[in-house]
Amino acid sequence: MAFLTQLLFHPFTWYHAHQLLAGQMGVDGLLALSIWLTLYSGQLTLANAGFMAIGAYSSVILTGGTTSSGPAAAGVHLPLPVAMLIGVVLAAVVALLIGLPVLRLKGVFLAIATLGFGEALRFGLILNLGITGKGQGLNNPHATLTSGIMPIWLSLAILAFLAWRLTGTKTGHAWAAIREDQLAAAAQGIDVARYKMVAFVLGAMVAAFAGALGAHLSFLIDSNDYTFTQAIDMLIWAVVGGIAFVIGPIVGAVLLTILPEVLRFTQDYRQVINGVILIAIVLFRPDGLFTRRSGTGQSGWFVRRWVTVRRRWPSRRPQPAPP
Amino acid sequence: MRNTIQQLLNGIFIGSIYALFGLGYTLVFGLLDVLNLAHSEVFMLGAVVAYSLVALHHVPFLLAVPLGIAAGGLLGLVIEFVALRPLRRRGAPPIAALISTIGLALILVALIEQAKRGGALSWLWRDGANDVQFPAGKVPDRIWHLAGLTLPVNKVAIVVITVALMGVLAYVMAKTPAGRAVRAVAENPRAAQLLGVNVDRVITITLVASSALAALAGILFALALNDISPYIGRDQVELRGLAVIVLGGMGSIPGTFIGGFTLGLLESITILTLGTDVRAVGFVALFVMLILRPSGLLGRPATERV
């Protein structure tokens, strides 16, 4: 409780006591933004932990990170912004190559394939390449620590603003149309494949950017920070916050990152509480915390929860006629 | 040569566990289009219950196995009533059920990893996040030696059990009224309901059966590798199970069978040829399979889901 009162009434004191947590919150907000981009266009992709790793490892290697047996890339000492830019561009290229085959998949299949990409990247490359320390992780002597926090929050604010403005553009409308009904969107002449790819690549770039920023909050990066669990965490933030607005996932990320600190008194059972919150959100607030009021006049979650509850299941999409 | 054959045999042993685990995944996915991510924690809990009965309560192993399976079945009821049925009632999309099963999985892992000596759950688990082994002599551990190959009896039994269960399940699904009801619900729940099938009961029974299979797979895994911890579900089989059902074709029982053994053998071959970490194999296979043939080896062509 002291944590909360301090946060609310003495934010500056709080900030000085919890700088790294504040940085982590910003990074998580960026990650939530990255998964929001694909979710908003109706695609459940879980590759962002992999792109995050690409950004993190590139930025650390290029700024002179060291493995246990010497410098990862001898003689390379780029300034951090340049290294981050290279990481982000690399992630964009990889996303483009991966996206070409993978984005044809839908729903759960897309989720599994992108998850497979993330884990194959981690187990296949990061744990086996000399340049990434073969699973020993990399030392990052050029970590920026606390001086990196303001840039993180600043870039989160700017990117969130840009993403919000993007929803009002042609691209944003195309994403929403694809999310609501891909076939109808295609029938309206929207280039579905292209707009999906734009969302996927943008998401990958933001994730790589967040990964690079996050990596420089610490003197050591470890492939265990970029697992399946990290991908699922991003999804959880987005679900808790709701994907109707860009602010939803960001608030979800910030809240759930800070929650363990607020719930210190529960100590070891934090994950139990996380699980309960997750189930409760899905059950009682299925569209997340921030939802768009529907255009029917009688909107709000109460009506959706209690009046229109028994509508969709077990009806399904029309099945193809047997041959 | 002998080493090669031994490795391939090991691939078959471990592959049959993957197949058994994937079976429950695929049953639920075929029925509901829901990826039940709590499945791997039922696997873990099956192993934990069997371990606690054998090591803490001195129950004979052969009695602990059915009790562990029963515990898995009960957990299936919990999944259905807590994570799935309320969402189905509201017509939530399958992605919502994916999230709620993740929530359940988080809770189960956390409960076990926090169970310490003297805690409220110490009758079930006392070792926190640590790995434990079955006490020596309490579980079958005889080893056959055949033509220079090492054949642990329990691993051979695993293959036999898996093959037998696959046969039984394939028969039940194809020939019995219960199997027909399951297939009807999978095809179209509303039509099935109109034709007099109790849809909720079919789903509940499937969840129980699927979870019982996961618990059995967990017990067999614990027996074969002699390694039990709160994380065996999450780290060992969760994603491999996905690879298995994607390889075989999601929702296909014979496909899962083939997918399990394929993954086990692929991992063995990787050890033989590259000698490296085998965990990447499943993901590479999964990724390639989804791109080349998303419907898997034996699946129906993927229609639009979600």
Minimum Cα–Cα distance from B187: chain A residue: A319
> If one looks up domain A21-270 in CATH, what number appears?
1.10.3470
Instruction: Return the residue matching tokens 């002291």.
Output: A2
Between the alpha carbon of residue A263 and those of residues A2, A16, A274, B216, the distances in Å are 11, 20, 10, 36
Main-chain dihedrals φ then ψ at residue A67, nearest 5 degrees: -90, 180
Banded model confidence at residue B129, pLDDT cuts 50, 70, 90:
confident
Q: Look at A282 and B88 and tell me if their CB atoms are within 8 Å.
A: no
Percent of chain B whose predicted confidence (pLDDT) is above 70: 96
pLDDT at res. A323: 52
Banded model confidence at residue A320, pLDDT cuts 50, 70, 90:
low
pLDDT at res. B299: 67
pLDDT at res. A316: 46
Between the alpha carbon of residue B88 and those of residues A313, B32, B91, B178, B199, the distances in Å are 6, 10, 5, 21, 11
Q: Look at A112 and B188 and tell me if their CB atoms are within 8 Å.
A: no
Banded model confidence at residue B204, pLDDT cuts 50, 70, 90:
very high
Q: Residue B101: list chain A partners with CB under 8 A.
A: none
Instruction: Return the residue matching tokens 């149309």.
Output: A177
Across the interface, of A111, A282, A317, the residue whose CB is closest to B100 is: A282
Burial of A207 from C-beta contacts in 10 A (0-12 / 13-18 / 19+): buried
Query: Please, what is the average pLDDT of chain A?
Result: 82
Q: Look at B83 and A270 and tell me if their CB atoms are within 8 Å.
A: no
Across the interface, of B105, B239, B305, the residue whose CB is closest to A108 is: B305
Q: Which two three-digit tokens encode residue A170?
A: 């042609």
Beta strands in chain B (DSSP E): 143-146, 149-152
* Rounded Cα–Cα distance for residues A61 and B216 (Å): 45
Banded model confidence at residue A136, pLDDT cuts 50, 70, 90:
confident
CA of B35 vs chain A CAs: smallest distance (Å)? 8
Q: Look at B102 and A228 and tell me if their CB atoms are within 8 Å.
A: no
CA of A148 vs chain B CAs: smallest distance (Å)? 32
* Rounded Cα–Cα distance for residues A306 and B37 (Å): 28
Banded model confidence at residue A267, pLDDT cuts 50, 70, 90:
low
pLDDT surpasses 80 at A309: no
Alpha helices in chain A (DSSP H): 2-9, 11-17, 19-40, 48-62, 80-102, 107-120, 149-167, 170-180, 182-187, 192-215, 228-241, 247-262, 270-284, 300-306
pLDDT at res. A34: 95
B301 touches chain A (CB under 8 A): no
Banded model confidence at residue B305, pLDDT cuts 50, 70, 90:
very low
Section A35-43 average pLDDT:
92
Could you give the count of Cα atoms lying within 13 Å of B240 in the half-sphere of its Cβ?
29
Across the interface, of B88, B190, B290, the residue whose CB is closest to A105 is: B290
pLDDT at res. A296: 38
DSSP B228: B
pLDDT surpasses 70 at A312: no
Banded model confidence at residue B277, pLDDT cuts 50, 70, 90:
low
Minimum Cα–Cα distance from A322: chain B residue: B187
Q: Residue A127: list chain B partners with CB under 8 A.
A: 277, 280
Banded model confidence at residue A299, pLDDT cuts 50, 70, 90:
very low
Across the interface, of A120, A275, A305, the residue whose CB is closest to B280 is: A120
Q: Look at B284 and A120 and tell me if their CB atoms are within 8 Å.
A: yes
Pick the CATH number of B2-116+154-292 from 3.30.750, 3.10.28, 1.10.3470, 1.10.287: 1.10.3470
Section A5-10 average pLDDT:
78
DSSP A66: E
Q: pLDDT of B4-31, one tens digit each?
A: 888 888 889 999 999 999 998 899 988 8
Q: pLDDT of A50-103, one tens digit each?
A: 999 999 999 988 888 787 777 777 677 888 889 999 999 999 999 999 999 888
pLDDT surpasses 70 at B240: yes
Across the interface, of A117, A235, A276, the residue whose CB is closest to B287 is: A117
From chain B residues 48-107, the ones with a CB under 8 A of any chain A CB are 82-83, 86-92, 94-96, 98-100, 102-107
Of the candidates B135, B170, B161, the one whose C-alpha atom is nearest the C-alpha of residue B17 is B161
Across the interface, of A106, A115, A320, the residue whose CB is closest to B306 is: A106
Interface test mutation site (partner B, options A45, A100, A105, A119, max chain B beta carbons within 10 A): A119
